[in-house]
Chains A and B, each alone.
Chain A
Amino acid sequence: MDLLAHLEAYVAVTEERSFSRAADLLYVAQPVLSRRIKTLEQHLGGELFDRSRRQITSTDLGIQLLPHAKDVLSRVEHLRQVASAALASASQPVGVPPDCDPAGLARVIRAGAGRGVTISVRELSAEERADGIAAGSLAFALLRVPPESASHRVPLGLATAAPTSRRAVHLESLRPRRGAVAEQAPPILLTAEDGLGFAAERFDKAAARAGLAEGRVRRAASTATAVAETLAGHAMLLCAEPFARRHGLAWSPLADATLHRGYELASTGNRDVPAWLEPLLVAAVGAGAEPAGKAVDRDVEIPDARARLAARG
């Protein structure tokens, strides 16, 4: 028995003092309404209406139960309202890297709105995005993964104020030239997205192996100051090409593609990723179809690995 529908029928008949008007009000046929009242009376174990007179009236039981029936109905109504309000405002939090293209993110939000999904974009560090997916506080997130195994790759390069050739940059070419007039070697600034975790470790190692001095690679205090330092010509900024373009900086890709960014779109639990979301997010983060550089075989120049552990010259 649908107790709520039956209570509704009972309240409507009581208030309208007429089976036919109550049936109209509830959009049901009058026999259906009559049956519901009968069923309810059987369920409660007593008559609710006195049908012996021309004008229908409530029995004592009917009068006594009315406020309680109304109370149940109003509580159910409240429950429904809360549910629909919650549904209307429930947004899908999506974790993205902090230096996405704002226009690209706007396309993600608009595409969601067009499909009745409220997307709320959260700029978070790589670590916070991974934590958010693990804890379920994010619906979706772009997770940082090694580029060689990633679904989406964002070529990283060095942005500078002075125009550069578009040719790929090799880290070892950034060493100050020996014998040249004292040359100022500008620091390489890493923003939060590239300055933490395995990717940063990898970059530091590559810089050391390329012969760059310890202090050359620095973590920028904030993205804004990193851009400012670079625009002023005092530094080089490790970033993706669209980011450099947005800030009017020249950009050349890093030749070593293992230092580029790799992303994987992850979702919480076993939630499906909507088909429309991934390409838009990938575009906003600046992922190209193909990596700009080629992967480098790191051990290519080591003829005898064992001899390296011996004392040398």
Chain B
Amino acid sequence: MSSRRPAFVASTADLLPVAESIAEHWREVGATGHLLARNLDTGEHLGFDVDTPVPLASVAKVPLALVVLDGIAEGDLDPALAITIDPATKSLGPSGVAAFRYPATLAVGDLLHLTLTVSDNASADALFDLVGVEHVDRRLRDWGCTGIRIRHRMHRMYECAAGVAGDDFGLALELAIRDDAAGQHSIETLDPAHANVGSATALVELLQRCWLDEVSRPDATAELRRLMALQVFNQRLSSDLRADTVRVSGKTGTFLHLRHEIGVVTAESGDRVAIAALTRSARRASIAHDIDLAIGAAARSAFEALRS
């Protein structure tokens, strides 16, 4: 992992130290990565290394959901369409239908719910199968979301990790960390050339357009905002922000050594800040409480610095 100084961005000089202290804190806990936080109304922003394409893990479920919601809003897709997911062929995952043991039949609208709220891989792949991976990628092109590429279903991540490491999580993690240091990729879904990728800039841009109804149709973006507010995971962006007066609508992404979350922080006061926090670390552990908290601390610092 490189110890080079990150490329900082800040709309005003007083925001630069905030970005620097966040990068320093991440370095202290052993994480490196990419951060961009932008006030949706003032355009003020801060961050570092914002244009690097990063494998998205479950963050890819946000553009997927937007494309499916767009199809519904256009009248091409029926949200009540029932889809049956067979446990024998479903995608693996720890939550939602991916963890179910019996066939489940759900409507498209509810598959979207499980995809965004509990990061259900089986629901997400049922949606990918419904609209097609290429269609999602093409739609993003149409919308001018050039910094995001969608190239595979969710289950591809498991297949690539298990392909090199069997079902040994520790070995897959070790390979991911070593590959990072060596700058090569034995797990294809960690290779920016083959993975679902996005830069912090592109992801914040997407969030901003969803929150300001500047992409797809308002029906679709409104439903995306509603579902992202229902996410059950709160160990990252919202870990130090949550209050009755502050809401975080987000989507996490976790795969081997990657720990991401993108989301929009909205306060009762009316402030809205979109944040993309994408990290990787050399930690030989599945759970890194302090890295999650460091992402939460970054979100809080950025939000407090950028709100008016």
Q: A99 on the interface (CB 8 Å rule)?
A: no
**Complex contact A310–B29 (CB within 8 A):** no
21 pairs from A and B in contact (CB 8 Å cutoff): A208-B283, A208-B288, A209-B284, A214-B281, A215-B30, A305-B167, A305-B168, A309-B162, A309-B165, A309-B169, A310-B121, A310-B157, A311-B121, A311-B254, A311-B255, A312-B57, A312-B58, A312-B94, A312-B254, A313-B58, A313-B118
**Complex contact B92–A310 (CB within 8 A):** yes
Assuming the A-B contacts A214-B283, A305-B167, are A310 and B30 also in contact, with contact meaning beta carbons closer than 8 angstroms in the complex? Answer: no
Q: A3 on the interface (CB 8 Å rule)?
A: no
**Complex contact A209–B30 (CB within 8 A):** no
Instruction: Report how far A176 CA is from B289 CA in the complex, Å.
Output: 10
Q: B131 on the interface (CB 8 Å rule)?
A: no
**Complex contact B158–A306 (CB within 8 A):** yes
**Complex contact B290–A175 (CB within 8 A):** yes
Instruction: Report how far A98 CA is from B229 CA in the complex, Å.
Output: 58
A34 CB to closest chain B CB (Å) equals: 86
**Complex contact A209–B255 (CB within 8 A):** no
- The closest CB in chain A to the CB of B58 belongs to A311
Assuming the A-B contacts A214-B29, A307-B99, are A313 and B255 also in contact, with contact meaning beta carbons closer than 8 angstroms in the complex? Answer: no
Assuming the A-B contacts A211-B288, A215-B28, are A309 and B161 also in contact, with contact meaning beta carbons closer than 8 angstroms in the complex? Answer: yes
| Contact residues, A158-190 vs B (CB, 8 A) | 175-176, 178
Which residues of the other chain, B, contact A214 by a CB distance below 8 angstroms?
29-30, 281-283
Which has the most chain B C-beta neighbours within 10 Å: A307, A309, A310, A311? A311
Q: A308 on the interface (CB 8 Å rule)?
A: yes
Per the CB 8 Å criterion, the residue count for chain B at the interface is 43
Which residues of the other chain, A, contact B57 by a CB distance below 8 angstroms?
311-312
* Beyond A205-B284, A310-B158, 15 extra complex contacts between A and B, CB < 8 Å: A175-B290, A204-B284, A211-B290, A213-B28, A213-B29, A214-B29, A214-B283, A304-B94, A305-B168, A306-B158, A310-B92, A310-B93, A310-B94, A310-B98, A313-B252
Instruction: Report how far A186 CA is from B169 CA in the complex, Å.
Output: 30
Assuming the A-B contacts A208-B285, A312-B58, A312-B255, are A307 and B94 also in contact, with contact meaning beta carbons closer than 8 angstroms in the complex? Answer: yes
Which residues of the other chain, A, contact B118 by a CB distance below 8 angstroms?
313
**Complex contact A213–B161 (CB within 8 A):** no
Instruction: Report how far A301 CA is from B281 CA in the complex, Å.
Output: 23
A208 CB to closest chain B CB (Å) equals: 4
B97 CB to closest chain A CB (Å) equals: 13
Q: Can you list, as one digit per residue, whether each of A189-216 has a CB less than 8 Å from chain B (1) or not (0)?
A: 0000000000000001100110101110
Q: Can you list, as one digit per residue, whether each of A35-65 has a CB less than 8 Å from chain B (1) or not (0)?
A: 0000000000000000000000000000000
Which residues of the other chain, B, contact A208 by a CB distance below 8 angstroms?
283-285, 288
**Complex contact A305–B158 (CB within 8 A):** no
Instruction: Report how far A113 CA is from B98 CA in the complex, Å.
Output: 71
Instruction: Report how far A273 CA is from B93 CA in the complex, Å.
Output: 56
**Complex contact A309–B293 (CB within 8 A):** no
Q: B105 on the interface (CB 8 Å rule)?
A: no
Instruction: Report how far A211 CA is from B57 CA in the complex, Å.
Output: 22
| Contact residues, B12-33 vs A (CB, 8 A) | 28-30
| Contact residues, B101-116 vs A (CB, 8 A) | none
**Complex contact B284–A311 (CB within 8 A):** no
Assuming the A-B contacts A306-B162, A313-B233, are A211 and B287 also in contact, with contact meaning beta carbons closer than 8 angstroms in the complex? Answer: yes
